[in-house]
A and B are shown apart, each in its own frame.
Chain A
Amino acid sequence: MWNSFGFEFVNFYFIPGLVLGCIYALGAIGITLTFSILRFANFAHGETMMTGAYLTWTVMAVCSGILGISVHPLLAAVPATLLVVLLFLVTDRYFYKPFRKADTIKVVMASFGMMLIIRSAVQVIWGPNQLTFIPGIAKPNPTLMDWSKSVDLLLLIPNKHLFIFAGTIVFVMALSYLLNRTRIGKAMRAVSDSPDLAHVTGIDVNQVIRATWIVGGACAMAAGVFLAMDIQMLETTMGFRMLLPMFAAAILGGIGKPYGAVFGGLVIGLAEELSAYPWLGDGPLLSPGYKTGVAFAIMVVMLIIRPQGLFKGRSF
């Protein structure tokens, strides 16, 4: 089965890259929204993803332990999302709002501190050990496998990846509707363009900020749960590790551009995985040990040649 070109490329490089890209994309949406509306790089974003995954695990554990029913992570994520959004709103009220009129660097430092606080709190509550999110190994979806075999392109995609793809599409479509069709979405875009002008035209800036945290929190939550579904375990630095590629995705797409973040996420995810494909000869093009470097190389090159990003975001 290793012989055909398409089989290996699609199943072991392209699809995993796409899965990773979906997770980066959802995380990058939150980062880019915070950056455009609140004007700071939120370092605590990765920890929010991680907290979301831990809360989802807790909901699942409570359901199976007390009620005796096993719940799908995507269902358990719904009540957990409310808690994450609440966490976002509380941190904004007590840790970021006091700095809103101060220099940007102060609120960036506040978010950095928040990152450490949240991670330590999770370590205190759930312990430093890894937790099993879903035990066992995920077998490819049999229906898809049979169908794809009949059209001569064997696809090995486990159900968890199908959920991740579907979830990401739903989230991006919902976000697109929110930003383009609803009143609050339009207000968010107005504040992103110019907060002072938006304020003068009667837009409630505080309400927009709350909406930003809610949307960013929901996306971070989805990214965290998808990540946990993919790696099937939880540990306290899982969000932090995703943070830098997510920043790279946000910068690549253009700061402040949600579609750019989605595109950037997919590009970074695919670039990381595809860089290890044996494009020339038998060995990997680039040793997989340097995967992380690929994301950074893209980010650095982008900042030098086109700092406003592919989708013409803000440049700093």
Chain B
Amino acid sequence: MKRTIFTTAAAMLCSTAVMADVNVGNPMALTGPIPDLVAPMAQAIDLAAAHVNAQGGMFAAGEAYNIIRADSACDPVAAVDAVTKLINVNSVSAILGPVCSGSTIAQAESVSFPAGVTTLSVSASSPAISEMEDGTDLMFRTAASDAYQGVALANLAMEQGITEIAVSWANDDYNAAIAAVFAAAFTAAGGTVTANEAHEPSKASYRSEVATLGSTSDNLALFAYYGSGGITLMRNALETAAFDTFIGADGMLSDEVIEQIGAENMGGVTFTTSASDPTTPAYAAWAALAGGAGVPASDPFVPNSYDAAFMLALAIEKTGSDDRASVSAALRSISSAPGEVILPGEWAKAKSILAAGGDINYEGAAGNQDFDANGDVAGLFSKSSVVDGAWSATLLK
């Protein structure tokens, strides 16, 4: 009995301490196969929080908007651990994005859905995420589904004159899903998939995989994370001259690839990624803010990360408390019409409209960020190839 009283008292103390601020849990793949991609995304999230806190903070009392970061390591197990801690120990109001699709799905199914906590992912793009909810409305993302990117990539391949291609994908939720979409779209567009094989991530050698696939085609569609085998597979393919043309998606688009493989060897490489339209006023506002803070504005998923962190703050501000249950509905309300248009960084303006009981419509750096019924957003994609030793991106229309 004594113990119960003590625990209750301790719990009350903790919760009052937490009440003073708004806490949002932020599991990011800080270690694991893609740390290079994640570092600027984390910077963008911190920048959004800094903007909120510098322009009056949360609610009438000006409470701090805290991002509590944890490491999800791009790994389902690590993500479940990290999110369990964030929800149960830090009592966060919402989860702001596990980066990888596998982590996002795992943490949602085993932790955040049962706890009734909303997840707003910054970059998880697997098509499987669209249909994982059953009656609830707790899963949102600011990055477009690969159901679209796979098709964009297939069209790009056809435009480049590729008619037959071998497909190799890393055996995880993200890469398996985009490879399936790509293979279906490529076949539908009249191309031939000569071989379609999974590979185990993080092996020391992929020479046998490359040999098996290489005897069927000179073109390879490679779906992998650069840090868990993608670079090794590509190097093995180039060493054995099995392939000369490579296409792929987000997971491979890192400077690390150029540095390790060498720009001179990467003439036939094109990767697509989720991109923003640089002509919108929202993007211009974001580019100015990011430039001032030294954040790379157009890197993959960096604007999406800023949008997610900013929108979550808007949603919590709209509910007027850090109650978990109402975040989801508020997120839909602040992101879509009707309402006054809010651009990245305009926290003070949004706060005063919300305080007066008005409606707002956030237009994000990465796109208009209007969620559909599945919590997905529409997206644009760009293709990148190596020009003068660096990635050079072109928007795909």
Residues of A within 8 A of B (CB): 2, 8, 11-13, 16-17, 19-20, 23, 123, 127-130, 132, 135-140, 156, 158, 227, 230-233, 235-238, 241-242, 273-274, 276-278, 283-284, 287-292
- Note all chain B residues with C-beta closer than 8 A to A136: 261-262, 264-265
Taken residue by residue from 222 to 240, chain B's Cβ proximity to chain A (1 for < 8 Å, 0 otherwise) reads as 0000110001100100111
Contact of A230 among B205, B208, B259 (CB under 8 A): B205
Min Cβ gap B195→A in Å is 8
Closest to A230 in B: B204
Q: Is A284 in contact with B262, judged by CB distance below 8 angstroms?
A: no
Q: Say which size band chain B's interface belongs to.
A: 35 or more
**Are A128 and B260 closer than 8 Å at their CB atoms?**
no
Within 8 A of A (CB), among B183-236: 197-200, 202-212, 214-215, 226-227, 231-232, 235
**A277 to B208, Cβ gap below 8 A?**
yes
Which residues of chain B have C-beta atoms less than 8 A from A277's C-beta?
A: 208
Contact partner of A12 among B32, B208, B261, CB < 8 A? B208
Quick check: is B53 within 8 A (CB to CB) of the other chain? no
Instruction: Provide the bound-state CA to CA distance between A190 and B204, in Å.
Output: 36
What residues on A are CB-neighbors of B36 within 8 Å? 129-130
User: Which 5 residue pairs of A and B lie closest in terms of their CB atoms, listed nearest first?
Assistant: A12-B211, A289-B198, A16-B207, A128-B31, A276-B208
| Closest residue on chain A to residue B39 by CB atoms | A129
Please give, as numbers and ranges, the residues of chain B lying within 8 Å of A274 by CB-CB distance.
208
Interface-centre pick from A2, A16, A158, A230 (highest chain B CB count, 10 A)? A16
User: What is the chain A residue whose CB lies nearest that of B212?
Assistant: A284
**Chain A residues, CB < 8 A from B30:** 128
Q: Is A135 a contact partner of B239 (Cβ separation < 8 A)?
A: no
Contact, CB under 8 Å: B239 / A138: yes
Chain B residues with CB below 8 A from A237, complex form: 202
B103 to chain A, nearest CB (A): 16
Q: Is B171 an interface residue (CB 8 A)?
A: yes
CA separation between A232 and B36, bound complex, in Å? Answer: 18
C-alpha spacing A284/B198, complex, angstroms = 11
B206 contacts across to A, CB distance below 8 A: 288
| Contact partners of B209 in chain A: CB under 8 A | 276, 288
Q: Are B202 and A137 in contact (CB under 8 A)?
A: no
A135 touches B199 (CB 8 A): no
- Which single residue of chain A is at the shortest CB-CB distance from B238? A137
Give A2's nearest chain B residue, CB to CB: B215
The residue from B31, B205, B215, B260 contacting A273, defined by CB atoms under 8 A apart: B205
Given contacts A129-B36, A156-B240, 5 further A-B contacts (CB under 8 A): A16-B205, A130-B256, A284-B212, A288-B198, A291-B203
| Complex CA–CA separation, A314 to B290 (angstroms) | 62
Instruction: Tell me whether A232 and B260 are in contact (CB under 8 A).
Output: yes
Question: Is the CB–CB distance between A233 and B199 below 8 Å?
Answer: no
Chain B contacts of A238 at CB under 8 A? 204
Q: Which residues of B contact A287 (CB under 8 A)?
A: 197-198
Q: Which residues of B contact A8 (CB under 8 A)?
A: 211, 215
Q: What are 7 residue pairs bridging A and B, where the CB atoms are less than 8 Å apart in the complex? A: A132-B260, A135-B259, A137-B261, A137-B262, A242-B204, A289-B199, A290-B200
| Pair A137/B200 contact, Cβ less than 8 Å | no
Asked if B320 is at the interface of the complex by the 8 Å CB criterion, the answer is no
Q: Which residues of B contact A128 (CB under 8 A)?
A: 30-32, 35
Residues from chain B with a CB closer than 8 A to the CB of A137 are 235, 238-239, 261-262, 265
Q: Mark B23-37, 1 if CB is under 8 A from A, else 0.
A: 000000011100110
- Are B208 and A13 in contact, with the CB atoms below 8 A? yes
Is B240 touching A289 in the complex (CB atoms < 8 A)? no
Task: A209 to B203: give the CA distance in the assembly, Å.
Answer: 33
Residues of B within 8 A of A292 (CB): 200, 203
Give Cα A36 to B37, complex, Å. Answer: 44
A232 to B211, CA, bound (A): 20
Shortest Cβ distance from B198 into A: residue? A289
Q: Which residues of B contact A13 (CB under 8 A)?
A: 207-208, 211
Q: Please, how many angstroms separate the alpha-carbon atoms of A292 and B203 in the complex?
A: 8
Q: How far is the CA of A291 from the CA of B215 in the complex (A)?
A: 20
Also in contact, A129 and B35, with CB within 8 A (given A13-B211, A284-B197, A288-B197)? yes
Q: How far is the CA of A238 from the CA of B203 in the complex (A)?
A: 9
Contact of A233 among B215, B238, B260, B262 (CB under 8 A): B260
Q: Smallest distance from the beta carbon of B37 to chain A beta carbons, Å?
A: 10
Per the bound structure, the CA–CA distance linking A137 and B239 in Å amounts to 6
What residues of A have a CB within 8 angstroms of the CB of B262 in the complex?
135-137
**Chain A min CB distance to B216 (Å):** 9
The residues of B that contact A20 with a CB separation of less than 8 Å are 204-205
B192 CB to closest chain A CB (Å) equals 15
Cα A289 to Cα B179 in complex, Å, equals 15
- Judging by beta carbons under 8 Å apart, are A11 and B240 in contact? yes
A231 vs B230: C-alpha distance in the bound complex, in angstroms? 11
Docked CA distance A166–B304 (Å): 50
Specify the chain B residue showing the minimal Cβ separation from A9. B211
Residue among B204, B259, B265 having the largest count of chain A Cβ atoms under 10 Å: B204
Q: Check A231–B207 contact: CB distance below 8 A.
A: no
B211 near A236 (CB under 8 angstroms)? no
Asked if B256 and A129 sit within 8 Å, CB to CB, the answer is yes
- Nearest CB of chain B from residue A123's CB, rounded to whole Å: 6
Q: How far is the CB of A189 from chain B (nearest CB, A)?
A: 31
